[in-house]
Amino acid sequence: MRRKKQRWFVISFLSPALLIYAVLFVWPVIQAFYVSLFEWSGLSDVRKFVGLANFQHLIGDKVVWQALTHNMVFLLLGGVVMMVLALVIAHCLQGESGAAKTLRGIYLLPHIVSLVIVAVLWKFIYNPSMGMATTHRLATVLHRDLALALVGETHERDSPFHRGDERFYAGFPDDQRWPLAADGGHAHLSL
Protein backbone atom coordinates (compact mmCIF):
# COMPACT_ATOMS: atom_id res chain seq x y z
CA MET A 1 0.00 0.00 0.00
CA ARG A 2 2.79 2.38 0.96
CA ARG A 3 4.64 1.66 -2.29
CA LYS A 4 1.51 2.43 -4.31
CA LYS A 5 1.09 5.81 -2.56
CA GLN A 6 4.73 6.57 -3.16
CA ARG A 7 4.36 5.73 -6.87
CA TRP A 8 1.37 8.10 -7.24
CA PHE A 9 3.26 10.80 -5.36
CA VAL A 10 6.17 10.54 -7.82
CA ILE A 11 3.83 10.45 -10.82
CA SER A 12 1.97 13.55 -9.63
CA PHE A 13 5.21 15.52 -9.46
CA LEU A 14 6.74 14.21 -12.69
CA SER A 15 3.65 14.37 -14.90
CA PRO A 16 3.50 18.20 -15.32
CA ALA A 17 7.17 18.34 -16.31
CA LEU A 18 6.80 15.37 -18.66
CA LEU A 19 3.69 16.90 -20.20
CA ILE A 20 5.46 20.22 -20.84
CA TYR A 21 8.46 18.35 -22.26
CA ALA A 22 6.23 16.31 -24.54
CA VAL A 23 4.28 19.33 -25.79
CA LEU A 24 7.23 21.68 -26.25
CA PHE A 25 9.90 19.24 -27.45
CA VAL A 26 8.75 15.75 -28.40
CA TRP A 27 5.69 16.78 -30.42
CA PRO A 28 7.57 19.42 -32.48
CA VAL A 29 10.32 16.86 -33.23
CA ILE A 30 7.70 14.38 -34.45
CA GLN A 31 6.09 17.10 -36.58
CA ALA A 32 9.46 18.12 -38.03
CA PHE A 33 10.22 14.50 -38.95
CA TYR A 34 6.80 14.18 -40.59
CA VAL A 35 7.33 17.36 -42.63
CA SER A 36 10.80 16.14 -43.65
CA LEU A 37 9.19 13.21 -45.44
CA PHE A 38 7.67 15.57 -48.00
CA GLU A 39 8.98 17.81 -50.75
CA TRP A 40 7.30 21.04 -49.75
CA SER A 41 8.08 24.75 -50.07
CA GLY A 42 6.48 25.50 -46.72
CA LEU A 43 4.06 28.03 -48.17
CA SER A 44 1.85 26.17 -50.63
CA ASP A 45 -0.71 23.47 -50.02
CA VAL A 46 1.00 21.18 -52.52
CA ARG A 47 3.13 18.54 -50.84
CA LYS A 48 4.74 15.58 -52.52
CA PHE A 49 5.64 12.56 -50.40
CA VAL A 50 9.29 11.61 -50.99
CA GLY A 51 9.92 9.42 -47.95
CA LEU A 52 13.55 9.30 -46.83
CA ALA A 53 14.90 10.89 -50.04
CA ASN A 54 15.50 14.18 -48.22
CA PHE A 55 17.74 12.36 -45.72
CA GLN A 56 19.62 10.64 -48.55
CA HIS A 57 20.22 14.06 -50.06
CA LEU A 58 21.57 15.34 -46.71
CA ILE A 59 23.95 12.39 -46.34
CA GLY A 60 25.44 13.11 -49.74
CA ASP A 61 25.84 16.86 -49.11
CA LYS A 62 29.42 17.99 -48.32
CA VAL A 63 28.31 21.15 -46.48
CA VAL A 64 26.21 19.13 -44.02
CA TRP A 65 29.21 16.99 -43.08
CA GLN A 66 31.39 20.09 -42.60
CA ALA A 67 28.74 21.64 -40.35
CA LEU A 68 28.46 18.45 -38.29
CA THR A 69 32.25 18.26 -37.96
CA HIS A 70 32.45 21.87 -36.76
CA ASN A 71 29.66 21.29 -34.25
CA MET A 72 31.38 18.21 -32.86
CA VAL A 73 34.70 20.05 -32.52
CA PHE A 74 33.00 22.89 -30.63
CA LEU A 75 31.07 20.45 -28.47
CA LEU A 76 34.03 18.28 -27.52
CA LEU A 77 36.77 20.90 -27.19
CA GLY A 78 34.50 23.57 -25.77
CA GLY A 79 32.91 21.19 -23.30
CA VAL A 80 36.22 19.74 -22.14
CA VAL A 81 37.93 23.14 -21.85
CA MET A 82 34.98 24.65 -19.96
CA MET A 83 34.75 21.67 -17.60
CA VAL A 84 38.48 21.73 -16.81
CA LEU A 85 38.45 25.52 -16.37
CA ALA A 86 35.42 25.33 -14.06
CA LEU A 87 37.10 22.67 -11.91
CA VAL A 88 40.33 24.68 -11.70
CA ILE A 89 38.48 27.84 -10.68
CA ALA A 90 36.36 25.94 -8.13
CA HIS A 91 39.50 24.41 -6.64
CA CYS A 92 41.23 27.80 -6.51
CA LEU A 93 38.24 29.41 -4.76
CA GLN A 94 38.58 26.98 -1.85
CA GLY A 95 40.85 27.79 1.02
CA GLU A 96 41.78 30.79 3.11
CA SER A 97 44.98 31.89 1.40
CA GLY A 98 45.35 35.43 0.12
CA ALA A 99 45.21 34.25 -3.48
CA ALA A 100 41.93 32.38 -2.86
CA LYS A 101 40.38 35.43 -1.21
CA THR A 102 41.53 37.67 -4.06
CA LEU A 103 40.15 35.26 -6.65
CA ARG A 104 36.82 35.08 -4.78
CA GLY A 105 36.67 38.87 -4.76
CA ILE A 106 37.42 39.12 -8.48
CA TYR A 107 34.89 36.39 -9.28
CA LEU A 108 32.07 37.79 -7.11
CA LEU A 109 32.69 41.52 -7.70
CA PRO A 110 30.47 41.84 -10.82
CA HIS A 111 27.52 40.34 -8.93
CA ILE A 112 27.87 42.82 -6.08
CA VAL A 113 28.65 45.89 -8.17
CA SER A 114 25.64 45.42 -10.46
CA LEU A 115 23.24 45.58 -7.48
CA VAL A 116 24.92 48.73 -6.17
CA ILE A 117 24.78 50.39 -9.58
CA VAL A 118 21.07 49.60 -9.95
CA ALA A 119 20.35 51.04 -6.50
CA VAL A 120 22.24 54.25 -7.29
CA LEU A 121 20.42 54.62 -10.63
CA TRP A 122 17.02 54.25 -8.98
CA LYS A 123 18.06 56.83 -6.39
CA PHE A 124 18.77 59.29 -9.20
CA ILE A 125 15.52 58.47 -11.00
CA TYR A 126 13.39 59.11 -7.90
CA ASN A 127 15.36 62.12 -6.62
CA PRO A 128 12.66 64.68 -5.59
CA SER A 129 14.55 67.72 -6.89
CA MET A 130 16.11 66.49 -10.15
CA GLY A 131 15.08 62.89 -10.82
CA MET A 132 13.84 61.78 -14.22
CA ALA A 133 10.53 60.49 -12.86
CA THR A 134 9.91 63.70 -10.91
CA THR A 135 10.70 66.11 -13.72
CA HIS A 136 8.71 64.05 -16.24
CA ARG A 137 5.69 64.01 -13.90
CA LEU A 138 5.85 67.78 -13.34
CA ALA A 139 6.24 68.46 -17.08
CA THR A 140 3.26 66.22 -17.88
CA VAL A 141 1.02 67.97 -15.35
CA LEU A 142 2.12 71.43 -16.53
CA HIS A 143 1.52 70.40 -20.16
CA ARG A 144 -2.03 69.32 -19.27
CA ASP A 145 -2.74 72.60 -17.46
CA LEU A 146 -1.41 74.59 -20.43
CA ALA A 147 -3.64 72.63 -22.83
CA LEU A 148 -6.69 73.20 -20.62
CA ALA A 149 -5.90 76.92 -20.41
CA LEU A 150 -5.65 77.13 -24.21
CA VAL A 151 -9.16 75.75 -24.64
CA GLY A 152 -10.51 78.04 -21.92
CA GLU A 153 -11.04 75.51 -19.17
CA THR A 154 -9.46 75.84 -15.78
CA HIS A 155 -9.45 73.11 -13.24
CA GLU A 156 -7.93 74.76 -10.24
CA ARG A 157 -8.22 71.64 -8.10
CA ASP A 158 -6.22 69.64 -10.67
CA SER A 159 -3.45 72.22 -10.90
CA PRO A 160 -0.07 71.07 -9.65
CA PHE A 161 0.09 74.21 -7.56
CA HIS A 162 -3.18 73.60 -5.72
CA ARG A 163 -2.34 72.82 -2.10
CA GLY A 164 -5.45 70.68 -1.58
CA ASP A 165 -4.21 67.78 -3.72
CA GLU A 166 -0.71 66.77 -2.63
CA ARG A 167 -0.35 64.15 -5.37
CA PHE A 168 0.72 66.82 -7.86
CA TYR A 169 3.72 67.96 -5.80
CA ALA A 170 5.96 65.32 -7.35
CA GLY A 171 8.61 67.90 -8.24
CA PHE A 172 8.90 69.39 -4.80
CA PRO A 173 10.93 68.10 -1.83
CA ASP A 174 7.94 67.96 0.57
CA ASP A 175 6.33 65.11 -1.36
CA GLN A 176 7.05 61.68 0.07
CA ARG A 177 4.62 59.58 -2.01
CA TRP A 178 6.62 57.72 -4.66
CA PRO A 179 6.29 55.84 -6.94
CA LEU A 180 3.39 57.53 -8.70
CA ALA A 181 1.42 54.40 -9.39
CA ALA A 182 1.10 53.72 -5.65
CA ASP A 183 -1.30 56.65 -5.15
CA GLY A 184 -3.05 56.45 -8.51
CA GLY A 185 -1.22 59.48 -9.94
CA HIS A 186 -0.80 57.67 -13.24
CA ALA A 187 -4.50 58.31 -13.94
CA HIS A 188 -3.80 62.06 -14.24
CA LEU A 189 -1.09 61.75 -16.89
CA SER A 190 -3.49 62.09 -19.82
CA LEU A 191 -5.26 65.25 -20.91
Residues 103-108 have a mean pLDDT of: 85
Q: Is 157 within 8 Å of 175 (Cβ atoms)? A: no
Name the CA radius of gyration of the chain, rounded. Answer: 32
Backbone angles phi, psi at 165, to 5 degrees: -120, 95
pLDDT in tens, 133-180: 666 666 666 666 666 666 665 555 554 444 444 444 444 444 444 444
Pick the more confident residue, 181 or 131.
131
Backbone angles phi, psi at 41, to 5 degrees: -80, -20
Confidence class for position 103, pLDDT limits 50, 70, 90: confident
Q: With H, G, I as helix, E, B as strand and everything else as coil, classify residue 190.
A: coil
Measured distance CA(156)–CA(16) in Å, rounded: 58
pLDDT at 57: 92
Measured distance CA(62)–CA(11) in Å, rounded: 46
pTM assigned to the model: 0.43
pLDDT at 16: 95
Least-confidence region, from 31-35, 60-64, 81-85, 130-134? 130-134
Answer positive or negative: Cα dihedral of 47, 49, 50, 55: positive
pLDDT in tens, 34-49: 999 999 888 888 999 9
Calculate what percentage of the chain has a pLDDT beyond 90.
34
pLDDT in tens, 66-92: 999 999 999 998 889 999 998 988 888
Domain residue limits, the chain:
1-59, 132-188
Measured distance CA(45)–CA(43) in Å, rounded: 7
Residues 104-133 have a mean pLDDT of: 81
The HSE-up count of residue 59 (CA atoms within 13 Å, CB side) is 5
Measured distance CA(139)–CA(118) in Å, rounded: 25
Residues 11-23 have a mean pLDDT of: 95
